[in-house]
Structures are given as C-alpha cells and as structure tokens.
Amino acid sequence: MTDAAYPGIFVTGTDTEIGKTVCSCLLIDALQQRGLRVAAMKPVASGGQYRQGQLVNDDALQLQQQSGLNQAYELVNPYVFEPPVAPHLAARQAGEVIRPEPIQQAFSQLKAEADQIVVEGVGGWRVPLAEDFAVSDLPRLLNLPVVLVIGMRLGCLNHALLTIESIEQTGSHVVGWMANYLDPAFDAQQANLQTLEYRLEAPCLAQIPYHGEPFTPLRQQEVAAGINISWL
Ligand SMILES: Nc1ncnc2c1ncn2[C@@H]1O[C@H](COP(=O)(O)OP(=O)(O)OP(=O)(O)O)[C@@H](O)[C@H]1O
Ligand SMILES: C[C@H](N)[C@H](N)CCCCCC(=O)O
Ligand SMILES: [Mg+2]
C-alpha cells in the first residue's frame, strides 16, 4: 500500500459522452506507470447489454480491463441497467432503487486489493441516482477527491464553471481537471483552454489530444505518462 494523500479519485465530467471513460482509463494507466495496483469502479451504469446471460456495461468492462486486477464484475459495477437513460429512471423501470450502501461495500472490497482506485461517475455531476441521492454525493460517500473531465467543445466553459462551483458547494475537493479534445471541428481550443486556466483555481492535469480511432496501447501509455498525478 502507498501512503498517498487520497485512496484514489472520482472522475466526473461536464456532461455525458465527453470522455470520462477515456480519461479514467488514462488515469489508471498513469497510476500503473508509477508501479501502483489500481482498482476501477463504475458504481452506477445505465446503458447495458446482455453478454453470456449477464447484463454488463461497456464503461465498466473497459475500466475492469484497464485495471487488470480481475476483480468481480459485480463489485466493479454494482448497479447496471439496460436502457441508456438517466440512472434513476432506468432503476425505476427495473423496479429498483439505487442506494449508497451496496456502492460503499463494493468500493471497500475493491480498494482492499489495490493501492489506488479510480471511480467513474455517470453522466454529469448533478445527475440524480434516486429521490435523495445523486452523483454529487458519491465522492463524499467514498471519501474521494474529484477530477473534472472537460469535453472541449462550445458550451464547455459554462458547464465547467457551473460544475466546479457545485463541487465546491458540496464540500468535495477538486484535485484538477483534464481538457479532453474530443471535437476536432472546434477551432477555439487554445482560447478556451486559456479561459479555463485563468478562471479555474484547480490545476489542469493534462490535455488529451483528439484521436481519430481508439488509442493503440503504446499511444495510450504515452498520453497517460503526461498526466500530472497531483493528488499522490
Ligand atoms: N480525446 C478524444 N478523441 C477522440 N474521441 C474521443 C476522445 N475522448 C472521447 N472520445 C470518444 O467520445 C465518446 C465518448 O467518450 P466516453 O465514453 O469516454 O465518454 P463518457 O463521458 O465516459 O460517456 P458516458 O457519460 O456515457 O459515461 C467515445 O466514443 C470516445 O471514444
Ligand atoms: C446513457 C448515457 N451514456 C449515460 N450512461 C447516462 C447519462 C445520464 C444523463 C442524465 C441527464 O443529465 O439528463
Ligand atoms: Mg463513460
């Protein structure tokens, strides 16, 4: 085990589909390059498919594979629902209620076998999970600081500033943000980056380049090596 300041990080984003999974895998890789055993978790996933009779989610499978610790799927992803809709709605359709306790228990078991844990949220920061439970409750539940993935496209300044404001209001700590260049057609990238650097107190941990096709393992390692693992 390490004596890191935090047991891991919680990865949130400025929206759904802006690169949380891509960045979570990069963060796991970056920690592994420091010689650490890294667990991965997707506590709640909506949008699943049946594979060999088991309902699974692609994000959770990617994270589990990147972690390489062979931890049980049910621990990596305790809540998975088939429809790709807001999680509290998907849970309702399945006749379930998403509760903190199973998430906390799975987290403890995963963390017991690792030096660090990378936990990916679902959708953006304020996505509801149940009547009285939201994504924004998870970092405090799991005692993790937050990394914000900013999908660099038009609208991201507003989303990033609102998200940081809200994270700080909940009392969670933002260790940094990642600028994810997921839109090659957006031509104000540098000006946006400068605006974010000027307005956000937390440091930019990395700029993730656009990749036209999935990273090769070598390219992923190169990009991951450039991430500032500031919370260790
Ligand atoms: N830097 C990038 N370059 C190119 N494509 C990217 C980049 N980042 C993300 N993508 C692509 O954008 C899509 C969304 O990324 P990803 O699945 O990581 O988002 P997410 O925020 O995790 O989404 P969700 O809310 O569903 O969990 C994927 O197809 C991914 O490959
Ligand atoms: C299906 C999608 N990829 C995510 N799993 C769920 C995103 C929920 C977003 C909810 C919302 O903010 O409206
Ligand atoms: Mg994802």
Can you give the residue range of the structural domain that contains 76? 8-225
* Shortest-distance atom of ligand 2 to CA 59: 5
Top mutation candidate among 22, 25, 147, 150 for ligand 1, by most atoms within 8 Å of CB: 22
Question: What is the spatial distance between Cα 80 and Cα 106, in angstroms, rounded to a whole number?
Answer: 14
Task: Say how many domains are in the chain.
Answer: 1
Q: What is the mean pLDDT of residues 49-55?
A: 97
Cα-trace Rg, the chain: 17
- Say which CATH number the domain at 67 has: 3.40.50.300
Top mutation candidate among 16, 80, 98, 162 for ligand 2, by most atoms within 8 Å of CB: 16
Is any ligand 1 atom within 6 A of the Cβ of residue 177? no
Q: Within a domain: residue 152?
A: yes
Q: What is the pLDDT of residue 48?
A: 98
Q: Within a domain: residue 188?
A: yes
Tell me which residue has its CA closest to atom 1 in ligand 2. 84
ipTM of the complex model: 0.99
Please check the confidence at residue 90 and state whether its pLDDT lies above 90. yes
Q: Within a domain: residue 232?
A: no
Phi and psi (nearest 5°) for 64? -60, -40
Q: What is the mean pLDDT of residues 58-62?
A: 98
pLDDT tens readout for residues 198-226: 999 999 999 999 988 888 899 999 999 99
Residues 6 or more apart from 24 whose CB is under 8 A from it? 11, 40, 63, 66, 118, 120
Q: Within a domain: residue 3?
A: no
Catalytic one among 7, 23, 28, 42?
Answer: 42
pLDDT tens readout for residues 152-186: 999 999 999 999 999 999 999 999 999 999 998 98
Question: What is the spatial distance between Cα 87 and Cα 83, in angstroms, rounded to a whole number?
Answer: 9
Question: What is the spatial distance between Cα 20 and Cα 25, in angstroms, rounded to a whole number?
Answer: 9
Q: CB 206: neighbour CB atoms within 10 A? A: 24
* Shortest-distance atom of ligand 1 to CA 16: 25
* Shortest-distance atom of ligand 1 to CA 214: 31
- Is 111 a catalytic site residue? no
Report the side by side order of strands in the sheet with 8-13: 38-41, 116-120, 8-13, 146-151, 174-180, 204-208
Question: What percent of the chain is modeled with pLDDT above 90?
Answer: 91
Predicted confidence band of residue 193 (pLDDT cuts 50, 70, 90) = very high
In this structure, which ligand is nearest to the CA of 59?
A: 3
Please check the confidence at residue 1 and state whether its pLDDT lies above 50. no
Tell me which residue has its CA closest to atom 7 in ligand 2. 123
Q: Within a domain: residue 231?
A: no
Q: What is the pLDDT of residue 179?
A: 98
